[in-house]
Amino acid sequence: MKGTDSQPEIVEGCRLPVLLRNGDGWHMAEILGKKDLKGKNLYYIHYEDFNKRLDEWVTEERMDIAKLVQPSKEAKTPKKEGVKSGTESRPSSPEREVVSTPNGSAAPTTGNKKFSSSSRKRKGADDSENIESATPSRTSTPTVPSGIDPLATPTSSRNNTPTLGLQQQNNVALNEDGSKKPRQTGSMVAHHDDIVTRMKNVEMIELGKYRIRPWYFSPYPQELTSLSIVYICEFCLKYVKSKKCLERHIQKCLLRYPPGNEIYRKGNISFFEIDGRKNKAYAQNLCLLAKLFLDHKTLYYDTDPFLFYVMCEQDCKGYHIVGYFSKEKESTEDYNVACILTLPPFQKKGFGKLLIEFSYELSKCEGKTGSPEKPLSDLGLLSYRSYWSQTILEILITMTPSEGNDRPVITINDISEMTSIKKEDVISTLQHLNLINYYKGQYIITLSHEQIDTQNKAMEKRKVRIDPKCLHWQPKDWSKRGKW
């Protein structure tokens, strides 16, 4: 659209106020793309300071064009190479073949609780130091051991890395000259954030009985990005172009559960372990599906180094995917989760905590402490902080005084060993809950009535928990298995 005397030209990189979808006022947004739909201009916008999953196509009626700010040359949104000005700027996916059939085809108590120890006064707390309470009231600002929050998001490097798996942006190593370089192993590789990956390319997916609007870009084949709906088999996760193709595929699809070993079952909840090398097609399709709802990830196709743990709900028709997490077969940093997702139809039902709890049960079987890869997404951070808080508080509340002491005594190491939560995450959670205080030369934990009541109410809502007796799994030593 060319600008006139009354209306300036709206181009990619422009900023202007946009009326929010719920009508709750105006918010500054950046134009990322535009297209013509039946003679009407649509603009793809990103709300500043909002998560990318809220990005959307809007019409001019929702835009305050009078307050349009033209982009500066430095801040201009990068365009995809080869896209001519004036053409539809909706991103497509890298060229990939669409595979089709021949037919077209994640114990209540009350009162203040105190924990004691006989540790000597120090400038900083040791990890294994006993934690003690000497007062019934909370002190103001606690002095905390190990003052770095391990959940803080480090700076990531940008790099177009051609290696392929579903991986997290971040965690860079150093070259010999001290410059940063992305890790080439494991599951954390940075990606190049260009205009293609900034824009959603799939409008809708149909998975089983659910139609879901994706949140982020995922490199499905280019032919699928022009469709109004992408159809996905809920058992093998194969993607097809139409409802008819899906019906034909389902008649031939032999799977009614993920292609791996069922290692847990209780009630209608099951977990399957899938080897990324043995079941490469399923693992790659799972990564493609997950990328639609994960922003802190780069999608690659080398799934060999990963194990995938898929949680399903069972009914008479089969095992329906609810969520999953992946982990490296060999992790030098003791990460027990590389990527974790509960599909949108199953969110806010406790399944996210169930996935996290299961990942720590595996760590207990391995005799290790574990932690998820950082940085976590906003929803991932909320889920993990909530799980860590409830798990640690559950231990503290149910503790009894030790022999010869009128107060319970516990160390950071004790909590870490009991839960398999890494010590840094235990300390971070205690900091976040503001539980650690420094009193008379000792670090103490004091729980208020309000915190105990809140914890008890939260635990009452967790109807489904992992039962370790139902887990049938033996950890493998992948270092002795050659190339997995």
Supply the residues annotated as catalytic: 373
Rounded Cα distance, 475 and 362, in Å: 8
- Residues belonging to the chain: 484
Q: What's the one-letter identity of residue 337?
A: V
Within 10 A of 388 (CB to CB), how many other CB atoms are there? 24
State whether the Cα torsion 429-434-438-444 is positive or negative. Answer: negative
Q: What's the one-letter identity of residue 149?
A: D
Rounded Cα distance, 327 and 265, in Å: 20
Rounded Cα distance, 340 and 359, in Å: 10
13 Rama sector, left if φ>0, alpha if ψ -120 to 50, beta otherwise = left
Cα atoms in the Cβ-side hemisphere of radius 13 Å centred on 313: 13
- Contact predicate 397/113, CB 8 Å: yes
Nearest to 198 by CA among 60, 90, 287: 90
CA 54 to chain CA centroid, Å, is 16
Q: At what angle do helices 449-461 and 378-398 cross, to 10 degrees?
A: 110
- Contact predicate 218/230, CB 8 Å: no
Nearest to 198 by CA among 365, 83, 47: 47
40-47 and 56-58 as β-strands: parallel, antiparallel, unpaired? antiparallel
Rounded Cα distance, 195 and 395, in Å: 47
- Contact predicate 91/195, CB 8 Å: yes
Radius of gyration of the chain (CA): 25
- Contact predicate 131/426, CB 8 Å: no
- Contact predicate 253/242, CB 8 Å: no
Instruction: Classify residue 456 as exposed, middle or buried by CB count within 10 Å of its CB (0-12, 13-18, 19+).
Output: middle
Instruction: Classify residue 95 as exposed, middle or buried by CB count within 10 Å of its CB (0-12, 13-18, 19+).
Output: exposed
